Amino acid sequence: MNQASVADSIPRATQERIFAAARELNYRPSFAARWARTARSFTIGVLVPEVSEGYAAMVMSGIEGHLLREGYFYLVASHRHRDDLIDEYPRMLLARSVDGLIALDTPWHHELPVPVVTVSGHNRSNGVTNILLDHDRAAELALRHLQQLGHERIAFIKGQEFSSDTEARWESIVKVGSRLGLRVSPKLTVQLEGDLASPELGYRVTKRLLERKARFTALFAFNDTSAIGAIGALRQHKLEVPRDVSVVGFDDIQSAAFHSPQLTTVRQPLKKMGLIAAEALLRRIARPDDTSYPREIVIEPELVVRQSTARATG
């Protein structure tokens, strides 16, 4: 009834009889008794910037899948990148006796008495395991792909200043671009503004880019959502994708494969990253005295080539 690890050894027919009897008697396991026996609440706190289709939702899918399988409840708090909430929410979750915390795309400077795992945190703090993408490899996959298609004039959409991945990803793009002999031009670089998880942000900055009258044959966007918005702006400007401009996104969200054209993108395995974060956290909760836990777990990206990129025509 408490989803103990030995429950799988009980025959299925016996399990069904037990659950039937529990339903008939209106029995529920006592979490207070479980807490008293184990000194755990079997509750995890999860901090996210926002919850919408895209990055956070896919990482959350991996987190919740593993926590549910392991019999854990979880509380989600969305801070919308507000510094006061990023500071306050960990204390509020601790007051609710969470056994540990997972923070997604959240600057992390706290030192807490419980284990913490961050996804794309990029901060070195005591007691924290950080799940990171190999951004150098991600930049190389995207830029080499465009270079092999003959693209030399590449435009870039940077992430918002508050995003944890923005600085690391941009540094990788500049470094890899230099190594490949590709110029990263300020005239062909724009930055997302605002905290909407909407293609509108990519649409706005691409319109601004086009107003500069600087010609480009390819665009590498910070994420798939902004790439989709960029495609809308390009079309409104009478530019077809990929005939006139190739577009590469980042993340490989679910809608990327169903957009028209289907989006070429750098896949970071978001659901897997959430699963790894949950596994790492529960492992640390189960071994509170083990100081050999990993400080970083680096995840490899993958290039997914679809219909939004093609050979440069001019």
CATH number at residue 42: 3.40.50.2300
312 domain-assigned: no
- Residues 54 and 17 both lie in one domain: yes
pTM score above 0.75: yes
Q: What letter does residue 187 receive in the DSSP assignment?
A: G
Residue 175 lies in a domain: yes
Q: What pLDDT was estimated at residue 9?
A: 66
Flag whether 307 is in a domain. Answer: no
pLDDT at 155: 98
Secondary structure element (H or E) that encloses residue 132, with its range = strand 128-133
Residue 143's domain comprises: 135-269
In a domain, 303, yes or no: no
Q: Confirm whether 308 is domain-assigned.
A: no
In a domain, 306, yes or no: no
Parts of the chain with a pLDDT under 70: 1-9, 15, 18-19, 21-23, 25-39, 53, 314
Whether residue 45 lies inside any domain: the answer is: yes
Provide the number of structural domains found in the chain: 2
Q: Are residues 65 and 128 in the same domain?
A: yes
| 43 and 150 part of one domain | no
Same domain as 249, residue 210: yes
Query: Tell me: the pLDDT tens digits for 223-260?
Result: 999 999 999 999 999 999 999 999 999 999 989 999 99
Q: How many residues does the chain have?
A: 314
Encoded tokens for 20: 């039937």
Cβ contact 270:256 at 8 Å: no
Residues 187 and 236 grouped into a single domain: yes
Contact between residue 51 and residue 78 where contact means Cβ atoms under 8 Å apart: yes
305 part of a folded domain: no
Could you give the CA distance from residue 224 to residue 242 in angstroms, rounded to a whole number?
15
